[in-house]
């Protein structure tokens, strides 16, 4: 019972955990379904990320306004907490890299391989978590993380073996540009997630969670706007809107916005270590879903990898990191979450 409380301090925590997994599985399926026959995209992926961040900003601002009552007006609140706004540029920029790299890497990996390769982030997340929150992980927790990493390595070897049929050299597939790209994506995810949790629970614990989301996505919109500008795609932005009418592209934007809100509550109510295990559970569900929907085969390497990941998850669930829920998440924030979760 105590272990369950350490994992999920209340029913709301479990709902957030489940929603996070389900929404990310949907995201992988939607992105895969939006790809062309040659594995690319016939829409501007940077614009999609930009619109997703803009939608997150709008939703967060509305939710803050609806529940603020005695809280200051949103523009006044931003002016009062400008230092926190500036700090949010760090995770915003990292998430900007992460989101844009997701499209690139998903175009070169099937969703199952993509999510398993992303699990390299678990060890790095643990190290950053220890540094930022001054909380050492136990020996069993590190063993669990080690097993999870081995599972990722096995799947990575599987992916390189399949690709080596064309190039004749498996190791060249491991050390190619896309492998480096997905590891840089891992780094962005780890640092952004743990630093975002730090801001939610420590540096900005006195600030309403929806206002913190406004800071995050205001900075994210600016970062993605700069990316569009640097890529020279700003001039053709209105022409690119014509390619966004595909149902899967719309679902990607909407689902991404919901994921952003849920993730902030995940980091506030739970922690970034549990978030990495939630991401690991995604790959098990994604493997089954993609086999059913896209006929993507499940190899023996994948099965072994999934088994190792499952063992690691079970070990962690029996020895979880204690969750420290910030008192700044008041009753009205909780009520709003329940409304948005319905």
Q: Token pair 């993509």 is at which residue?
A: 114
Residue pLDDT, tens place only, 274-307: 887 887 777 778 777 877 887 777 778 778 878 8
What is the C-alpha end-to-end distance of the chain, expressed in Å? 27
User: CA dihedral defined by 40, 237, 218, 21, rounded to 10 degrees?
Assistant: -20
Structure tokens at 91: 């995770």
Look up residue 320 and give its DSSP letter.
P
- Distance from the Cα of residue 130 to its chain's centroid: 20
Q: Which residues fall within 8 angstroms of residue 106, CB to CB, at 6 or more apart?
A: 28, 31, 32, 35, 114
Which range has the worst mean pLDDT, 100-109, 112-121, 122-131? 112-121
Q: What angle do CA 122, 183, 149 make, to 5 degrees?
A: 35
What share of the chain has pLDDT > 90, as a percent? 14
The single residue listed with the structure tokens 């500036």 is: 86
Neighbours of 306 (CB within 10 A): 21
Per-domain residue ranges for the chain?
2-341
- 25-42: average pLDDT: 81
**CA-CA distance, 235 to 314, in Å (whole number)?**
50
Full-model pTM: 0.76
- Under the banding of pLDDT at 50, 70 and 90, the label for residue 169 is very low
For residue 179, give the nearest of 198, 162, 159, 203 by alpha carbon: 159
What's the gap between Cα 296 and its chain centre?
Answer: 23
Is residue 263 classed exposed, middle or buried when 0-12, 13-18 and 19+ CB atoms within 10 A define those classes?
buried
Q: Which of 83, 102, 93 is nearest to 220 (CA)?
A: 93
Give per-residue pLDDT as tens, 124-148: 888 888 888 888 888 888 898 888 7
Count of alpha carbons within 13 angstroms of residue 113, beta-carbon side: 25
In angstroms, the Cα distances linking 51 to 60, 117, 337 are: 14, 27, 23
* DSSP string of 32-48, one letter each residue: HHTS-TTS--SS-HHHH
- Distances in Å between the Cα of 254 and the Cα atoms of 48, 100, 302 are 10, 16, 30
User: Hey, what long-range contacts does 69-74 have (CB within 8 A, 24 or more apart)?
Assistant: 69/332, 71/208, 71/211, 74/211, 74/214
Query: What distance in Å separates the CA atoms of residue 224 and residue 52, rounded to the nearest whole number?
Result: 10
The alpha carbon dihedral of 41, 213, 184, 16 has a sign of negative
Residue 333 has pLDDT above 50, yes or no: no
Number of residues assigned to the chain: 342
What are the C-alpha distances in Å from 18 to residues 4, 23, 80, 123? 15, 9, 35, 22
Element containing residue 303 per DSSP (H, E): helix 300-318
C-beta of residue 127 within 8 angstroms of C-beta of residue 313: no
Is the pLDDT confidence value at 46 over 90? no
CB burial of 142-179 (b: ≥16 within 10 Å; e: otherwise) equals: eebbebbbbbbbbbbbbbbebbeeeeeeeeebbeeebb
Tens of pLDDT, residues 200-238: 888 888 888 999 999 999 998 898 888 778 877 666 666
């Amino acid at each position: 019972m105590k272990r369950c409380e350490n994992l999920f301090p209340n029913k709301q925590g479990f709902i957030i955990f489940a929603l996070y997994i389900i929404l990310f599985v949907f995201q992988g399926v939607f992105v895969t379904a939006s790809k062309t026959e040659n594995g690319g995209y016939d829409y501007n992926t940077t614009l999609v990320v930009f619109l997703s961040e803009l939608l997150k900003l709008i939703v967060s601002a509305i939710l803050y306004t609806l529940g603020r009552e005695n809280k200051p007006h949103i523009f006044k609140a931003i002016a009062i907490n400008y230092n926190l706004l500036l700090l949010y540029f760090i995770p915003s920029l990292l998430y900007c890299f992460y989101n844009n790299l997701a499209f690139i890497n998903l175009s070169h990996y099937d969703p199952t391989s993509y999510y398993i390769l992303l699990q390299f982030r678990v060890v790095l997340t643990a190290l950053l978590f220890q540094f930022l929150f001054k909380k050492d992980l136990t020996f069993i927790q590190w063993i669990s993380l080690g097993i999870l990493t081995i599972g990722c390595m096995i799947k990575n070897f599987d992916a390189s073996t399949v690709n080596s049929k064309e190039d004749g050299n498996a190791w060249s597939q491991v050390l190619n540009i896309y492998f480096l790209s997905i590891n840089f994506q891992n780094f962005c995810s780890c640092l952004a997630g743990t630093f975002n949790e730090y801001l939610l629970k420590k540096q900005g614990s006195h600030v309403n969670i929806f206002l913190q989301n406004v800071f995050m996505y205001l900075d994210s919109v600016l970062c993605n706007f700069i990316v569009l500008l640097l890529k020279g795609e700003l001039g053709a932005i209105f022409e690119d809107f014509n390619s966004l009418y595909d149902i899967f592209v719309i679902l990607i934007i909407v689902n991404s916005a919901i994921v952003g809100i849920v993730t902030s509550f995940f980091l506030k109510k739970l922690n970034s270590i549990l978030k990495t295990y939630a991401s690991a559970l995604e790959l098990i569900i994604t493997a089954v879903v993609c086999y059913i929907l896209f006929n993507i085969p499940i190899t023996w390497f994948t099965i072994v990898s999934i088994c190792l990941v499952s063992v690691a998850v079970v070990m962690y669930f029996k020895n979880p990191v204690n969750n420290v829920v910030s008192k700044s998440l008041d009753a009205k924030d909780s009520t709003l979450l329940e409304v948005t979760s319905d």
